[in-house]
Amino acid sequence: MRLREKEISDPQTIDAILQSALVCRIALAAGNAPYVVPVNFAVKDGVLYFHSALSGRKIDMLQQNASVCFEVDFPGDLIAGEKACSWSMKYQSVIGFGRACFIEENHEKIRALDLLLKKYSGSDSFSYVSAALDKVCVIGVKIETLSGKQSF
């Protein structure tokens, strides 16, 4: 990281950002086509989970290249400067890299979906219809590296 004073080195702070952020941007690449897509997500035990339809651009790209980059952030207040290039912004962000895999077994899908639903609803009691599980794609990204950055 170029500006070491902005680096978040505390793993607990990085985890707190991952647990609290509501949107994760997943960056994919296949051939010469980069693609970034915002998703709802949850992180547990070094794996980032998100869900998708069974088909589409995101799925096609992951089938071609399982390497992903992801980003979450908390934008803060604008810091006004006296001159045009002296303005700044308060923020916290986390960037990670990993490899995606498709979660096929229903019990593993349910575990990941429970994490997602608990994060966004606050509840922890859910029931699933098998037909609905068959229509959702759950993706896990085994996190390989994480870095955090902040400015206050």
User: Which tens digit of pLDDT belongs to each residue from 29-63?
Assistant: 998 989 999 999 999 999 999 999 999 999 999 99
Model confidence over 91-106: pLDDT tens digits? Answer: 999 999 999 999 999 9
Q: Specify the pLDDT at position 84.
A: 85
d(CA 98, CA 41): 14
CB-CB neighbours of 76 under 10 Å = 13
* H runs (alpha helix) in the chain: 11-20, 57-64, 106-121, 130-134
Task: Find out whether 49 and 42 touch, Cβ atoms under 8 Å.
Answer: yes
Q: What band does 78 get if pLDDT is binned at 50, 70 and 90?
A: confident
Q: Over 60: is that where the pLDDT of 126 sits? A: yes
- Please give the single-letter amino acid code of residue 43: V
Which domains does the chain possess? 4-151 (2.30.110.10)
Task: Find out whether 91 and 69 touch, Cβ atoms under 8 Å.
Answer: no
Q: Specify the pLDDT at position 133.
A: 94
Q: Specify the pLDDT at position 42.
A: 98
Cα–Cα distance list, 60 to 4, 29, 33 (Å)? 37, 10, 12
Task: Report which of 94, 78, 128, 127 is spatially closest to residue 25, judged by C-alpha positions.
Answer: 94
Average pLDDT of the chain, as a whole number: 94
